[in-house]
Amino acid sequence: TVSAEIMQPESRAFHYCYGWPCGASPMRGDQLLQDGSWGRFEPFVFPRYMVSAGEAGGDKKEAGVVQYTSVDGSLTPDGEAHRLYAVRQAGA
């Protein structure tokens, strides 16, 4: 897949765009999955600690790899939980 990322280490922010950032339609047949391109950047937060999605009240553990999207560009439960606006609304 094609994607674009912008990192902001000082604020633990990760701006991600699945697919072509312009959001344009495919021009050739070799541009797989372009129909699912977001066409915009979405801000996410890199967690210091995390509890796996669905584990309410579980022990905190060091955050390792966090999968924000699936191969087709759909947000995973962890991706939804770490979107910057979702984290701000939760007061974290």
Q: What is the pLDDT of residues 6-63, one digit of tens each?
A: 999 888 888 999 887 776 666 666 666 666 788 889 999 887 765 554 555 555 566 6
Pick from 21, 41, 23: which is nearest to 85 by CA? 41
Which pLDDT score is estimated for 16? 92
Q: Cα 57–73–75 angle (5° rounding)?
A: 20
Pick from 36, 25, 35, 45: which is nearest to 86 by CA? 45
Q: Which residue has the higher pLDDT, 5 or 32?
A: 5
Which pLDDT score is estimated for 50? 56
Pick from 29, 19, 6: which is nearest to 70 by CA? 19
* SS3 state of residue 59: coil
Instruction: Give the DSSP letter of residue 34.
Output: G
